Amino acid sequence: MAKALIGHLNSDLRDPRLAADNARLRARVAELESLVLRLSEENDRLVAARAEELDELITTTPAQEMQPA
């Protein structure tokens, strides 16, 4: 079994097309990971800004307006 796994892992070195495809896929994964990180940071900023807006709204709105009808 170990011999089969080692052969499988080294097979891309014998075929340049597989090595190129593997490199392309690794680059795409890295690109997608950086996109996820960027979107996560942007989402965190938006959530913080919205929380700040809501906090301001709560502190500036009179208590009578906040009560149900």
pTM over the 0.75 mark: no
For the chain, helix (H) and strand (E) counts, in that order, are 3, 0
Q: What confidence score (pLDDT) does residue 18 get?
A: 87
Domain ranges of the chain: 10-56
User: pLDDT tens digits for 13-68?
Assistant: 578 888 899 999 999 999 999 999 999 999 999 999 999 999 888 888 666 666 66
Q: What confidence score (pLDDT) does residue 23 get?
A: 93
Q: What confidence score (pLDDT) does residue 64 get?
A: 62
> Nearest to residue 35, comparing CAs of 27, 23, 47?
27
Residue written as tokens 């075929």? 15
